[in-house]
Amino acid sequence: MAWKDYLPDFKGALKGFYEENVKATLETKTNEFKELIQQNIAINTQTQKALVAIALGIFFLLAIAYFWK
């Protein structure tokens, strides 16, 4: 008889615990995180476009003020 015959099935217990409790939660949180990242990227893109427009406006106003006679 080997030692593994006396020890409980840790691998099976951990696999069962993962499949029953952790797997569903992990998959849901992963999907939620992906959705949040996509929303965040969309908001950041809009913010970046607005900042570029503001910077161009300031640049043109300064150029007009500098070259105006």
Domain residue limits at 69: 22-69
Q: Evaluate whether residue 13 is within a structural domain.
A: no
Domain-located, residue 38: yes
Does any domain span residue 15? no
Looking at residue 6, its amino acid is: Y
Could you report the per-residue pLDDT of 24-61, keeping only the tens digit for each?
Answer: 888 999 999 999 999 999 999 999 999 999 999 999 99
Give domain status of residue 66, yes or no.
yes
If you average pLDDT over every residue of the chain, what do you get?
A: 88
Q: How many domains does the chain have?
A: 1
Query: Is residue 36 in a domain?
Result: yes
pLDDT tens-place string over residues 1-31: 666 667 777 788 788 888 888 888 889 999 9
